């Protein structure tokens, strides 16, 4: 009982405080005005939208803090198992809209803001996205936090508080230019905890001595210390008071301040050097997706964050005064990809070096605590760290890794005697020059469960990259949890009208808590009024996007045209190049027709968006070609509204919330077997868009749920990709004839200087076409023609759209989190009274 724990002299004031915050519109307005005039020290007479945003956020924040405190107290008193989600990325997007919705007071705020002279949409627009992630992996972490809170699980997220999140993308003369994203100017959603700090050690050396009992004691000494400071972000659950915590660590010099002595003696530059070096650790998010570059600073980030988080978790566990063996009953730690894998070693170090446990006992605790989620099979994305770098930065951890590897390889040897090749393949250390630490191997060996993120992907990891480990540990260690998305942000927030239409038919907003209730709308698929409104909502969303396109690119697009969208990170495996080649093919076809014949063509707007990693030359070339094609096509009088090509600058979470509901068709066209799951595919279908895609990732399960008649699948299958690649190198190889024509047009200079695009052409024509662009091109073009035909039958299209949404219940991140809770974490929700 929380109340009983409050000391008597403080209880009266505490009780009064519990009912503070606003109850209605008037109360809300009072709070907004109070924050404008006191917290912000401004006057209502010059309160602009930015100030209204700040004050509105502060008013909601006040409410959130109360529930946040209560939730933390409830979890502490319950003393039950907690789950910790360790992720280097949390792609949160905006917080205010989500807080209003989850608290359930958006209507109150809307009315209150209107009375104060503001439109709620404009106020929401003032917020800067929290973009602490690259793409799918980071956004998945954010959806998981939403579900964990909404389902009342005791859970914490742990991450890094980057001063700069993913860069802002500008398009200048058709090229991507990266601009730093400083997002912390005014951030009401974080709480610095200057009293929660951890000293983190780097470099130094290890000494060993033998104690009185003959036991070897290792001590890590010397080196440098950096301070980790906690910043907490409240995560409100939907329609529940549960408010969980996301703790982000920021780095600071251990001494706190700059060196005054150096400063006084005139050594100005060096007086701040230590401070700056320390702060560099949490300064910037690495902007690569699906590529590992092995930079020292990245390893420093990883250890800094992992060590601070584990210190915190262990400190919390120790308060319960339980024996160590109960650690895995109280703590589950999920590794979001291999980035936090050092946590395995760090926990073993804490238990053995600092707490004096035996190796075996400690290792049991470690392996029962961790679970590892893999997000990719691309070899270039699998993390490896050079042994010399490790030796330098984390000497004790390297020793522990060698010991872990030794015991592991001994166990493999027992199972597979004399199989030296097996040992070399599964070893945590790669015997290369220099030697490398394979983080995925360490993560598998250190966890009790390993999961992939869609069925095909989970099967693939078992039969390819982790095949040997299935033999070593048996198949039960490997499992699947198909990804999901939160319907709160990706349906209700992004598409309020559709959400309202659905609730009017399902009878309540309960589908936002149990997405399988969407099935009920299928009864209305022949209902004329329902269908009409369904179509009107899509159209209105397209009008909104068309306005944004006009404002940001100057191009007029017709909202009645088919909106064909591909928005995601730019990567060769995701094949935006195939899409733009297809667009060129369409353009050439249109040009070859008479004006009369052209009129029969289905008008389209091809919309692209996404960032390229700054060092990814080919991805940047793809962006340039898309813009170059747009510049020609959009100004061609013969073409008019029949085809427009748009590149939307700076794709991010808040733009996704506007773009996704406006799509008729979206493209998920990765080479089969390369996209682990994809999650935007789920978002598009949930918003009534159809998809064209390959048999890859979650597309396969989406097809199973919504029915083959409702999706446009094409291309080669994952099981055939290897043979086809082999044939490219050793057999006969010719480029698809339609694609040859596309290349000829580019080479003729139709879209400007051909040399600018030769990399993309020769990757297909001269360098083995690794991503099978040519092999899939014909089937892609044909399927696009089927799309045109299907779209012309508007009634048929609407039916497909309604059926698809009705059958998307499976893809809620709530389902996904419940699967993790049951199958991996062994944890149950914490009951919330008075819910
Ligand atoms: C993505 N991975 C997968 N990695 O590509 C996608 O299929 C999946 O749906 C999603 O994870 C969620 O499971 C991804 O986004 C990264 O961005 C990493 C960032 C850090 C470096 C390595 C890649």
Residue pLDDT, tens place only, 382-439: 999 999 999 999 999 999 999 999 999 999 999 999 999 999 999 999 999 999 999 9
Q: Is 453 in the pocket of ligand 1 (CB under 6 A)?
A: yes
Distances 737 to 572, 588, 729, 764 between C-alpha atoms, Å: 21, 13, 19, 13
Tell which atom from ligand 1 comes closest to the C-alpha of 140. 12
With a cut of 60, say whether residue 20 has pLDDT above it: no
Q: Is 133 in the pocket of ligand 1 (CB under 6 A)?
A: no
Q: Is 676 in the pocket of ligand 1 (CB under 6 A)?
A: yes
Mean confidence (pLDDT) of the chain: 96
Q: Half-sphere exposure (CA, 13 Å, Cβ side) for 173? A: 2
- Asked about 384 being catalytic, the answer comes back as no
Query: Which one from 35, 161, 438, 569 is the annotated catalytic residue?
Result: 569
Query: Token pair for residue 501?
Result: 């239409």
Quote the pLDDT of residue 770.
98
- Beta-bridge partner residues of 197: 229
Which of 137, 334, 340, 677 has most ligand 1 atoms within 8 Å of CB, for mutation?
137
Convert the pLDDT of each residue in 49-83 to its tens digit.
999 999 999 999 999 999 999 999 999 999 999 99
Q: Is 790 in the pocket of ligand 1 (CB under 6 A)?
A: no
Mean pLDDT on 223-250: 97
Query: Token pair for residue 532?
Result: 């009409």
Which of 285, 302, 376 has most ligand 1 atoms within 8 Å of CB, for mutation?
376
Q: How far apart are CA 794 and CA 789, in angstroms?
A: 10
Cα of 696 vs centre of ligand 1, distance in Å, is 15
Q: Is 136 in the pocket of ligand 1 (CB under 6 A)?
A: yes
Q: Is 446 in the pocket of ligand 1 (CB under 6 A)?
A: no
Query: Which one from 574, 655, 668, 800 is the annotated catalytic residue?
Result: 574
Q: Is the peptide bond before 286 cis (omega within 30 degrees of 0)?
A: no
Let me know how long the chain is: 835
Convert the pLDDT of each residue in 180-190 to its tens digit.
999 988 899 99
First to last CA, the chain: 16
Quote the pLDDT of residue 592.
98
Cα of 756 vs centre of ligand 1, distance in Å, is 29
With a cut of 90, say whether residue 705 has pLDDT above it: yes
Cα of 692 vs centre of ligand 1, distance in Å, is 21
Which of 160, 336, 375 has most ligand 1 atoms within 8 Å of CB, for mutation?
375
Q: How far apart are CA 795 and CA 485, in angstroms?
A: 28
Distances 332 to 74, 304, 341 between C-alpha atoms, Å: 19, 20, 14
Q: Is 682 in the pocket of ligand 1 (CB under 6 A)?
A: no
- Asked about 319 being catalytic, the answer comes back as no
With a cut of 80, say whether residue 319 has pLDDT above it: yes
Nearest CA to ligand 1 atom 19: 289
pLDDT band at 835 (very low <50, low <70, confident <90, very high): very low
Better pLDDT: 379 or 716: 716
Burial (CB < 10 A; 0-12, 13-18, 19+), residue 722, is exposed
- Asked about 568 being catalytic, the answer comes back as yes
Tell which atom from ligand 1 comes closest to the C-alpha of 457. 7
Q: Is 674 in the pocket of ligand 1 (CB under 6 A)?
A: no
**CA 735, 670, 650, 232: dihedral to nearest 10 degrees?**
-160
pLDDT band at 293 (very low <50, low <70, confident <90, very high): confident
Cα of 547 vs centre of ligand 1, distance in Å, is 31
Cα of 102 vs centre of ligand 1, distance in Å, is 27
Q: What domains appear along the chain, each with residue ranges and CATH number? A: 17-78+101-120 (no CATH), 79-94+129-482 (3.40.50.2000), 562-807 (3.40.50.2000)
- Asked about 194 being catalytic, the answer comes back as no
Quote the pLDDT of residue 56.
97
Sign of CA dihedral 30, 33, 38, 44: negative
Cα of 677 vs centre of ligand 1, distance in Å, is 9
Nearest CA to ligand 1 atom 6: 678
Tell which atom from ligand 1 comes closest to the C-alpha of 483. 13
Cα 281 to chain centroid distance, Å, stands at 21
Nearest CA to ligand 1 atom 18: 289
- Asked about 571 being catalytic, the answer comes back as no
- Asked about 23 being catalytic, the answer comes back as no
List, in sequence order, the alpha helices (H) in 613-694. Answer: 617-633, 653-659, 680-686
With a cut of 60, say whether residue 141 has pLDDT above it: yes
């Amino acid at each position: 009982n929380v109340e009983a724990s409050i000391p008597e002299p403080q209880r009266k004031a505490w009780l009064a405080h519990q009912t503070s915050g606003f109850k209605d519109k008037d109360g809300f307005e009072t709070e907004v005005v109070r924050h404008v005039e006191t917290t912000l020290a401004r006057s209502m007479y010059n309160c602009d939208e930015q100030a209204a945003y700040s004050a509105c956020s502060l008013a909601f924040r006040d409410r959130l803090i109360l529930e946040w405190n209560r939730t933390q107290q409830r979890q502490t008193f319950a003393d039950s198992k907690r789950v910790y989600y360790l992720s280097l990325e949390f792609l949160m997007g905006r917080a205010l809209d989500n807080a209003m919705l989850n608290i359930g007071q958006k209507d109150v705020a809307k009315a209150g803001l209107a009375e104060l002279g503001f439109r709620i949409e404009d106020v929401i627009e003032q917020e800067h996205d929290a973009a602490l992630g690259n793409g799918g992996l980071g956004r998945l972490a954010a959806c998981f936090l939403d579900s964990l809170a909404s389902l009342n699980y005791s859970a914490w997220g742990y991450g890094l508080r980057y001063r700069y999140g993913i860069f802002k993308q500008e398009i200048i003369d058709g090229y991507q230019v990266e601009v730093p994203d400083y997002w912390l100017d005014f951030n009401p959603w974080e709480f610095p905890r200057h009293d929660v700090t951890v000293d983190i050690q780097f470099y130094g050396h290890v000494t060993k001595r033998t104690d009185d009992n003959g036991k070897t004691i290792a001590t890590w000494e010397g080196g440098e210390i950096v301070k980790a400071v906690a910043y907490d972000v409240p995560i409100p659950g939907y329609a529940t008071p549960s408010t969980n915590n996301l703790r982000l660590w920021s780095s600071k010099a251990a001494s706190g301040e700059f060196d005054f002595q150096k400063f006084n003696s005139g050594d100005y530059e060096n007086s701040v050097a230590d401070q700056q070096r320390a702060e560099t650790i949490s300064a910037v998010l690495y902007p690569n997706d699906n590529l590992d570059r092995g930079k020292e600073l990245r390893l420093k980030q990883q250890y800094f964050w992992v060590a601070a988080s584990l210190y915190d978790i262990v400190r919390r566990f120790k308060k319960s005064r339980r024996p160590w063996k109960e650690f895995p009953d109280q703590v589950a730690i999920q590794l979001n990809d291999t980035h936090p894998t050092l946590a395995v070693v760090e926990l073993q170090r804490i238990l053995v070096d600092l707490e004096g446990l035996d190796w075996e006992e400690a290792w049991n605790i470690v392996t029962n605590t961790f679970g590892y989620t893999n997000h990719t099979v691309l070899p270039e994305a699998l993390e490896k760290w050079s042994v010399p770098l490790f030796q330098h930065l984390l000497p004790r951890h390297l020793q522990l890794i060698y010991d872990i590897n030794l015991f592991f390889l001994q166990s493999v040897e027992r199972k597979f005697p004399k199989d030296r090749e097996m040992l070399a393949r599964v070893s945590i250390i790669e015997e290369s020059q220099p030697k490398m630490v394979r983080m995925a191997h360490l993560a598998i060996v250190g966890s009790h469960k390993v999961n992939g993120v869609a069925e095909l992907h989970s099967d693939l990891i078992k039969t390819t990259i982790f095949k040997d480990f299935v033999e070593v540990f048996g198949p039960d260690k490997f499992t699947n949890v198909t990804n999901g998305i939160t319907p709160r942000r990706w349906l209700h927030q992004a598409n309020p009208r559709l959400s309202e239409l659905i609730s009017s038919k399902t009878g309540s907003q309960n589908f936002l808590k149990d997405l399988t209730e969407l099935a009920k709308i299928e009864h209305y698929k022949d209902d004329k009024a329902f269908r009409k409104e369904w179509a009107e909502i899509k159209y209105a969303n397209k009008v909104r996007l068309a306005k944004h396109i006009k404002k940001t690119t100057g191009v007029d697009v017709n909202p009645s045209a088919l909106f064909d969208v591909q928005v995601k990170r730019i990567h060769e495996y995701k094949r935006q190049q195939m899409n733009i080649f297809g667009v060129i093919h369409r353009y050439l076809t249109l040009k070859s027709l008479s004006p009369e014949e052209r009129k029969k063509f289905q008008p389209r707007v091809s919309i692209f968006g996404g960032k390229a990693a700054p060092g990814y030359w080919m991805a940047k070339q793809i962006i340039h070609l898309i813009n170059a094609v747009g510049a020609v096509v959009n100004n061609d009088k013969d073409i008019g509204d029949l085809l427009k090509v748009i590149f939307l600058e700076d794709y991010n979470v808040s733009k996704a919330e506007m773009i996704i509901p406006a799509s008729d068709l979206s493209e998920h066209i990765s080479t089969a077997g390369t996209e682990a799951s994809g999650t935007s595919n789920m978002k598009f279908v949930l918003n009534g868009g159809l998809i064209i895609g390959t048999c890859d990732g979650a597309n396969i399960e989406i097809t199973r749920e919504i029915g083959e008649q409702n999706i446009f699948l094409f291309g080669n299958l994952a099981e055939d990709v290897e043979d086809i690649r082999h044939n490219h190198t050793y057999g006969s190889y010719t480029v698809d004839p339609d694609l040859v024509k596309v290349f000829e047009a580019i080479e003729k200079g139709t879209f400007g200087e051909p040399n600018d695009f030769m990399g993309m052409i020769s990757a297909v024509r001269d360098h083995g076409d690794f991503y099978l662009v040519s092999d899939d091109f014909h089937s892609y073009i044909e399927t696009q023609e089927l799309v045109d035909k299907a779209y012309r039958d508007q009634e048929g299209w609407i039916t497909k759209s309604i059926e698809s949404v009705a059958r998307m219940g499976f893809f809620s991140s709530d389902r996904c989190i419940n699967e993790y809770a049951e199958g991996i974490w062994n944890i149950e929700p914490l009951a919330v009274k008075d819910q």
